[in-house]
Amino acid sequence: MTELARRAYLWACALDVVVRKPGNVSVESPGHGMIAEQFVASAIASVDALFERDASVGQRIEGAIKATRAAVECNTNLGIVLLCAPLAAALEAATSTSLESLRAQVHITLARMDVDDARAAYRAIALANPGGLGAAAQQDVRNVPSIDLRAAMQLAADRDRVARQYAEDFAEIFDLGLPHFTALAAEPATAMLACCLTFLASGADSHIVRKHGGALAHSVTEEAVAWLQRWRAAQGVPSADALAAWDERLKGAGLNPGTSADLAVASAFVAAVIDPRLSDVRVPGLAWNVLNSRPTLTRLSG
């Protein structure tokens, strides 16, 4: 099952940069001082630690971020790693890859996390140094935590959507992201775009909120709602040129709906675990196959 999960993770990460999701870095559109190759290199660098046998959730997070930082020297995948580490640990213990088995094991995995998991995750977050990270009144990530990782995430759940998954047994991944992805999974690129827009339309993106405030984040959410409405009305994917124009406008304003993208990656990961045939679908438009080769990367700092 570990090899299946590794492949599903790499496939989801590759799909993330293949699809031009507005505001996010992609093969077609670099942005925010980063390029797609850095994200691919990050996926390859992080996979061993994420799927290390018998490792705790905290160990998986810290190991993955250390490996990422050594590879690309910037924060490309903190949200993805935070979301996928509990899923990876749950998959190792699950009796099957059915949705029911995975959900049950995720609940158990989250409940078993302890203060050592929190301390390892805090060190990883400090190393990744995500943009817009403010101060918290309790259990601030710049301090050594005194509570377990789930309890720490619960304190942040009202302001951070990744943290909310820990507090709510990954309900949004299973009940929102996964159904929207699997409904269009025959065309994975379309599924990834729809899943990301669904998360963006369903609530303010945490990354934008942290860096630019709630009002601006909600305006982007309203745009995503309008895009989805047009998509449904036309019964077809929005024009690539129109999406590209929105993408460029968001990047021009420094707006990166990174949390929505991270949630979509985690949803695609789960989808490919439940249906392994998905990760056999070669991601379109990629110059190299992340599953079978290692791209050459010029190390950049950021």
Please give the average per-residue pLDDT across 83-87, as a whole number.
Answer: 98
Place of tokens 């299946």: 4
In the predicted structure, residue 292 carries a pLDDT above the cut 70? no
Please give the average per-residue pLDDT across 203-220, as a whole number.
Answer: 95
pLDDT on residue 73: 84
CATH topology of domain 2-280: Triphosphoribosyl-dephospho-CoA protein (1.10.4200)
103-137 burial, b if ≥16 CB within 10 A, otherwise e? bbbbeebbeebebebbbbbbbbbeebeeeebeeee
In the predicted structure, residue 299 carries a pLDDT above the cut 70? no
144, 163 contact by CB (below 8 A): no
In the predicted structure, residue 196 carries a pLDDT above the cut 90? yes
Taking the model in full, what pTM does it have? 0.91
Phi-psi region of 138 (alpha: psi -120 to 50; beta: other; left: phi over 0): beta
Please give the average per-residue pLDDT across 109-131, as a whole number.
Answer: 93
In the predicted structure, residue 197 carries a pLDDT above the cut 50? yes
pLDDT on residue 204: 95
In the predicted structure, residue 290 carries a pLDDT above the cut 60? no
In the predicted structure, residue 203 carries a pLDDT above the cut 90? yes
Q: In sequence order, what are the beta bridge partners of 34? A: 31
Please give the average per-residue pLDDT across 2-28, as a whole number.
Answer: 93
pLDDT band at 79 (very low <50, low <70, confident <90, very high): very high
In the predicted structure, residue 297 carries a pLDDT above the cut 60? no
- Report, in angstroms and rounded to the nearest whole number, the Rg of the chain calculated over CA atoms: 18
In the predicted structure, residue 233 carries a pLDDT above the cut 70? yes
pLDDT band at 131 (very low <50, low <70, confident <90, very high): low
pLDDT on residue 138: 60
Q: Give first-to-last CA distance, the chain, whole Å.
A: 35
Please give the average per-residue pLDDT across 182-205, as a whole number.
Answer: 95
Tokens of 266: 């985690």
In the predicted structure, residue 19 carries a pLDDT above the cut 60? yes
In the predicted structure, residue 142 carries a pLDDT above the cut 90? no
Please give the average per-residue pLDDT across 247-265, as a whole number.
Answer: 96
Mean pLDDT, all residues of the chain: 89
148, 113 contact by CB (below 8 A): yes
Amino acid letter, residue 183: A
Which of 48-52, 69-73, 263-267 comes out lowest in average pLDDT? 69-73
SS3 8: helix
% of the chain exceeding 90 in pLDDT? 77
Indicate the domain borders of the chain: 2-280
133, 301 contact by CB (below 8 A): no
